[in-house]
Amino acid sequence: MKNKSLYLYSFNQRKGIFLLLLVMIFTQAIYFFWSSNTTPQKDKENHQWLALQSHVDSLKQVKEEFKPTIYPFNPNFISDVKGYRLGMSVEELDRLFAFRKQNKYVNSAKEFQSVTGVSDSLLAVISPYFKFPDWVNQPQKEYVKFENKISDVKPKTKIDINLATQEDLIKVYGIGPALSERILKQREVLGGFASMEQLAFVWGLNPDVIENVNKSFAVVSTSGIKKIKINDLSIKELSKFPYFNYTIAKEIVTYRSMKGDIQNIEDLTKINGFPVEKLKFIALYLEF
């Protein structure tokens, strides 16, 4: 009965059923071949992607583990680049630069934070690398005060600054080998100090250290000072004097040629650009 039921359809109906079967078979064949060809390709791409991802993950791990080496440094001389690398903001760096323009220095981590305004967390990270001058880190000397019950105690005799040795200078709190060498070099160039106030122009000596020096030293002898004849020397010769430069030497010669010899200290104040703040001890090196 089932075989006979097939012949109940017309020729066109049987033809349509046959074509439908062919289309279904053809579709299944295409899907089979397409999936078999693309799967290996996808597997290959997935394998490559996984390999690349593992490499990226390893690079991330290296980056996370990498920490730049920080060497000890003086926080007074932090540059823009170094400050950025340390994590400081532009505002914090500007505060430090403004403070330094006043010729002031920070001498502790606490003072650095007070000036810059950096956070406690950042200070805790970078402050272990702060390196201040030796005299800053030296412990403060403790002095015991005694009542002077002896009326005839003689005051301590001060050492002549023009005869002092490097060993003498290093004994002063706040002076190390570098500062003592600068003082001696300046003394050699001048032929001797004419006034203790000249120490203020030695680079690196702050007021506290100068006060300590004045407690132990004084200008006693000025015999080694070589005076210069301000009215006889040329521009080149005048410019060799430590407190003059070429411009000032030229102004001095111009003044002489226009108004005659320089007679006294008052005439020096009339010279354009003359360092009047140093006048009272510059005059001690001049012959009019």
One domain for residues 232 and 206: no
Q: What is the pLDDT of residue 151?
A: 46
One domain for residues 165 and 214: yes
Query: Does residue 8 fall inside a structural domain?
Result: no
One domain for residues 200 and 238: no
Say how many domains are in the chain: 3
One domain for residues 258 and 283: yes
Q: What is the pLDDT of residue 143?
A: 44
Query: Does residue 180 fall inside a structural domain?
Result: yes
Query: Does residue 24 fall inside a structural domain?
Result: no
Of 114, 132, 150, which marks where a domain is finished?
132
Q: What is the pLDDT of residue 146?
A: 45
For 68, 77, 93, 188, 288, the CA distances from 86, given in Å and listed in that order, are 10, 13, 11, 42, 57
One domain for residues 124 and 83: yes
- Reported pTM: 0.44
For helices 90-101 and 109-116, angle between their N-to-C axes, nearest 10 degrees? 110
Q: Give the CATH number, domain containing residue 278.
A: 1.10.150.280
Domain that holds residue 104: 75-132
Q: What is the pLDDT of residue 159?
A: 93
Residues, the chain = 288
Among 118, 72, 126, CA closest to 95: 118
Task: Tell me the three state secondary structure of residue 83.
Answer: helix
Query: Does residue 143 fall inside a structural domain?
Result: no
One domain for residues 213 and 242: no
217 burial level (CB within 10 Å; 0-12, 13-18, 19+): buried
pLDDT profile of the chain (288 residues), mean per 10: 55 78 82 63 61 65 58 83 86 88 85 90 88 62 48 70 92 91 90 89 89 92 83 90 88 90 87 85 84
Query: Does residue 9 fall inside a structural domain?
Result: no
